[in-house]
Copies of this chain bind each other. A is one copy, B any other.
């Protein structure tokens, strides 16, 4: 493939980045007119990918599109230690089997974004497992305690007397050693990885190599617009979620967050659109629908994205029921409301109870007031609605 001019490459690379250390080195590397070795490391212990992870994956995709060699590094060796970044506890070490299973799950997901044929998936156990004691000692002799304690997380924990195990000091050294072995030109990571990426530069220098350019990507805010998107906070959009769910979740974000998502989750040149909205030439809701359609298309294709848009507009804009409502058939004549909601809509009993208590559950158009309220089924089917976006037609087996 032909290599794009420097300015064009830079425009694509810089979009959405938090920090580049440093731009002069990056320009120098790009001027070499050869495919650069681009590294991004992933912890095999958390392979359930959501849009927050795709900020980094999309940047890798950009490098692929520009003709560079992108390495998806699975830290299966370091994963057994557990990256301490921002964590105050040592993680339980994963077994070899768990690491393998997680790596497989990872691969299944990332190729929804990355080009499978252009992505080199590598495992750092390949070179780390042969380091041996001597190798670990050698790495440990190349870095000082003081530099390690410069890391914000470590320093804060040290000052506030929270334990830092000595094992945690070995993690960044190993991650840096990955860059040495891979002869990385560029390493990508989240802003929370900045310290580790810098150690990579130091280790390369210590081994007499040219240092990698590091590019950090911002941490994406979740649906609430405040906290980092994360599974445990429940403010996330998984890339395997169904089109309707994904579409609806994107439509629920604020207009401010919308521009952030445009920048980090699409390639659309949104500045013009933003200006139009500012001048009242476009309606924010239409722009948000366009965002949702773009993102859903990326994971489910154009057709399903159109359908999701259609369903969304029917339900919310026109206050109608979705056209393709799921159906659920009970074998009994009646059942308590919490059980009915939980079973037919596939949620936990506690979530069902919470929605009922919040007054968000309707059966046949009438609010269900009590978690113990007995619901009687109809062989012709009646509509059960829970929350804003969950519907089910409930039947009694006739």
Contact = CB atoms under 8 A, between A and B. Distances in A.
A166 interface: yes
A328 interface: no
A170 B80 CA distance: 19
B173 A141 contact: no
A166 B158 contact: no
A137 B92 CA distance: 12
Interface stretch (A32-40, A126-134, A257-265): A126-134
Contacts of A163: 144, 146
A145 B166 contact: yes
Interface in A95-150: 128-129, 131-133, 135-137, 140-146, 148-149
A96 B163 CA distance: 36
Contact of A144 (B128, B143, B145, B164): B164
A167 interface: yes
Contact of A166 (B129, B140, B154): B140
A161 B146 contact: yes
Contact of A137 (B149, B158, B167): B167
A137 B81 contact: yes
Contacts of A195: none
A146 B158 CA distance: 6
B143 A164 contact: no
A296 to B, nearest CB: 43
B146 A165 contact: no
Contacts of A154: 145
Contact of A146 (B81, B142, B146, B164): B164
Contacts of A144: 163-166
Nearest to A145: B164
A9 to B, nearest CB: 38
A168 B143 CA distance: 10
Interface in A47-95: 80-81, 90
Contacts of A146: 158, 161, 163-164
Contact of A169 (B129, B142, B158, B169): B169
A343 B318 CA distance: 112
Interface of A: 80-81, 90, 128-129, 131-133, 135-137, 140-146, 148-149, 154, 158, 161, 163-170, 173
Closest CB pairs A-B (n = 8): A140-B167, A141-B167, A140-B166, A145-B164, A144-B163, A141-B165, A166-B169, A143-B166
Given A80-B137, A145-B166, 10 more contacts: A132-B132, A133-B136, A137-B167, A137-B170, A140-B165, A141-B165, A142-B165, A144-B165, A145-B145, A145-B149
